[in-house]
Amino acid sequence: MADTIEAVVASVDYRLAPEHRLPAAYDDAMEALSLIRSSQDEWLTKYVDFSKCFLMGNSAGGTIAYHAGLRVVEKVNDLEPLKIQGLILRQPFFGGTQRNESELRLEKDPILPLCVSDLLWELALPIGVDRDHEYSNLTAMSGFGEKFDKIKNQGWKVLVSMNGGDPLVDRSKELVELMEEKGVEVIKDYEEEGCHGVEFFEPSKGKKFIELVNSFVSSFDA
């Protein structure tokens, strides 16, 4: 990605469940932003335009980027000179106890069957809660609509990339709908074919997604 896009790409490490359950990963994402903000690393101080930053993630990383974004939008001034311009969410990993159409249709998906995604949430969520917790369910967070209003007011753009063969695709569609209802500028990238993580099995899909990200990021130069 860094070879294709004129950007410094920071890959963030985070604590893993079940030893470190959520919100540990979300906290670590915020810590990473604080470290970048105060870093004296030459790669950052000499080459990075801090006024044009993006939060990006794939699968669970997409969920982390989303939750980090919801936190950042509440304290944008605290992160100066970092200025977030948008979110890039590739097949974000959301859940809920109520099954939707894509989950039922792809219940026995060979890559991400429901029993596996359910287990992942069981291991990641705080002990004693279910998939309708705000860390997993899009609409469970109190005041999420107001946070989307703030994302709109900050002028952020949100790229959501999804595939029809991913059991989680309807969750991504729901996110797009909820944000668009609040007037957030959302770029929806949808391909009918492709499983969860398809870019790892088909390099051409990964290349196409990187080109899409490049176009999205470059649009802020206009």
* Catalytic (active-site) positions: 59, 166, 196
Dump the DSSP string for 105-164: HTTT-SSS-HHHHHHHHHHHSPTT--TTSTTT-TTTSTTHHHHHHHHHHTT-EEEEEEET
With H, G, I as helix, E, B as strand and everything else as coil, classify residue 174: helix
d(CA 178, CA 199): 26
CB 158 within 8 A of CB 86: yes
